[in-house]
Structure 1
Amino acid sequence: MTSVFSQDELAVIRRAYAKQILTLSSIADDPRLEEAFATVPRERFLGAPPWLMSRGASGYEAVASDDPVVLYQDALFALASDKGVNNGSPSLHARCLHALSLREGERVAHIGVGTGYYTAMLAHLVGAKGHVLAVEFDSVLAERARDNLAAHSNVTVVQGDGAEWPREDVDAVYVNFAVGRPADAWIEHLRLNGRLIFPLGVPRPKPSSGGGTHSLYGAGLCVTRKNAGLAVQWLGHVSFVCAQGRLSQPGEDRQALQAAFEAGGMEFVRSLIWRESAPLGRCCFTGSGWALSYDEVPE
Structure 2
Amino acid sequence: MTADSRASLDEIRDFHAKMMAVASNSSDERLEQAFRLIRREAFMGAGPWQIRVGRRYLETPSTDPAYLYQNVLVALDKSKGINNGEPLLHAAFLGAVAPQPGETVIQIGTGTGYYTAILSTLVAPGGHVHAVEIDEALADRTRVNLSSFENVSVICADATALELPETDLIYVNAGVVAPPVSWLQVLRPGGRIILPWQANDKVGLAVVITRREQGFGARALMPAYFIPCIGASDPTQSTKTPNGGEARSIQSIWLKRDREPDETAVAVYQDLWFSNAALGT
Measure the CA separation in 2 of the matches of 1:189 and 1:198.
15
Match of 1:16 in 2: 15
Paired residue secondary structure (1:120):
helix
Q: Is the 8 A contact 1:179 1:201 kept in 2?
A: yes
State the alpha-carbon separation in 1 of the partners of residues 149 and 180 from structure 2. Answer: 27
Is 1:173 paired with 2:154? no
Measured against aligned partners, the alpha-carbon deviations of 1:240-280 in whole angstroms (never above 9, x if no partner) come to 11123x33445321x733xx135x32111110112332452
Matched, 1:195 2:176: no
Give 1:292's aligned residue: 274
Alignment size in residue pairs: 276
Q: CA offset at residue 163 of structure 1? A: 0.8
Q: CA deviation at 1:28?
A: 5.4
Equivalent of residue 76 in structure 1, options 51, 73, 76: 73
Structure 2 counterpart of 1:51: 49
Once residues 221 and 190 of structure 1 are traced to their aligned partners in structure 2, the CA distance between those partners, rounded to angstroms, is 15
1:2-35 CA-partner distances (Å, limit 9, x unpaired): xx99xx9433321210112333x26252311111
CA deviation after TM superposition for structure 1 residue 182, in Å = 0.4
Aligned AA for 2:20? Answer: I
**Aligned twin of 1:35:** 33
Aligned runs of 1:265-280 on 2, under 5 Å? 265-275=246-256, 276-280=258-262
CA drift at 1:186: 1.2
Shift of 1:202: 5.0
Q: 1:256 aligned to 2:240? A: yes
Asked if residue 247 in structure 1 is aligned to residue 229 in structure 2, the reply is no
Change (3 A) 1:203 1:66: farther
User: Taking structure 2 as the reference length, what is the TM-score of the superposition?
Assistant: 0.92
Q: How does 1:113-192 map to 2 (within 5 A)?
A: 113-165=110-162, 167-192=164-189
In structure 1, C-alpha distance between the alignment counterparts of 2:52 and 2:193, rounded to whole Å: 27
- Deviation per residue, 1:187-238 (Å, 9 max, x gap): 111111000111111575xxxxxxxxxxx43111100001101011211111
Q: Distance in 2 between matches of 1:111 and 1:129?
A: 20
Q: How many Å separate the matches in 2 of 1:128 and 1:166?
A: 25
Q: Which SS does the other structure have where 2:170 is aligned?
A: strand
Q: How does 1:212-223 map to 2 (within 5 A)?
A: 216-223=202-209
- Residues 165 and 186 in structure 1, CA contact (< 8 A), matched pair in contact too: no
- Residue 104 of structure 1 is matched in structure 2 by 101
1:166-202 Cα shifts (integer Å, max 9, x gaps): 5210011000000111022211111110001111115
CA RMSD of aligned residues (A): 2.1
Name the CA distance, whole Å, in 2 between partners of 1:119 and 1:235: 21
What amino acid sits opposite 2:207 in the alignment? L
Equivalent residue number for residue 207 of structure 1 = none
User: 1:239 and 1:161, CA in 2 relative to 1: closer, same or farther beyond 3 A?
Assistant: same
- Aligned AA (1:55): V
- Secondary structure of residue in 2 paired with 1:200: strand
Q: Distance in 2 between matches of 1:77 and 1:12?
A: 21
Given the superposition, is the C-alpha separation of residues 248 and 290 from structure 1 closer, same or farther in structure 2, using an over 3 Å criterion?
Answer: closer
Alignment of 1:85 with 2:67, yes or no, is no
Supply the AA of the counterpart residue of 1:288: Q
SS in 1 for 2:17: helix
CA distance in 1, matches of 2:24, 2:127: 27
Out of 188, 212, 215, the residue aligned to residue 226 of structure 1 is 212
User: Do 1:177 and 1:241's aligned partners in 2 also have CA atoms closer than 8 Å?
Assistant: yes
| Cα deviations by residue, 1:87-112 (Å, 9 ceiling, x for unpaired) | 00111101111111111000000000
CA contact (8 A) 2:261 2:273 kept: no
Structure 1 regions of 5+ residues with no counterpart?
A: 205-215
**Following TM superposition, by how much is the alpha carbon of 1:298 offset from its aligned partner in structure 2, in angstroms?**
3.7
Moved more, 278-287 or 48-57: 278-287
Q: How big is the shift at 1:63? A: 1.2
